[in-house]
Structure formats: structure tokens, C-alpha cells
Amino acid sequence: MSDYEKLLEGLKKVLSIAKANGNKLFIENIERDIRALEAGKESPIIKKCLTPEERMPNDSEQQT
């Protein structure tokens, strides 16, 4: 499973929890990130919160 697929799967799990809890702001933010990823764009929350170095795949992880 690619990093993209793992991230998307994780976001969808968090979205289902947010929906169960009725947190509308959280739901909107997660749905925005999912739409961006599915459109081939960078997740807005990742772009905002991570440095460019943190956004780069770890070379050691790719070699395993």
C-alpha cells in the first residue's frame, strides 16, 4: 500500500469517527483534505503543518 493510500485510508477512518461525533468543523476539514488528495493535490493540512523535509518520503522506508 502506498503512502498516499495509507493517508487516504486513515483520513476516511477519522472522518467516520468525526461524523459519529457530529463535529461539523472537523468533518469539513477532513473532507477537504480527502477531496484534495483524490484530485492529486497536496493535503492542505499537511502542507500547513509539516515542513518540506517532513513531507518527503523517508528513503530508508522506500528501500524495505
pTM for the full predicted model: 0.68
pLDDT tens column, 35-59: 998 998 887 777 777 677 776 665 4
pLDDT tens column, 2-45: 887 888 899 999 999 999 999 999 999 999 999 998 998 887 77
Q: What is the pLDDT of residue 17?
A: 94
Q: How many residues does the chain have?
A: 64
Q: What is the pLDDT of residue 47?
A: 73
SS3 content of the chain, % helix, strand, coil (to 5): 75, 0, 25
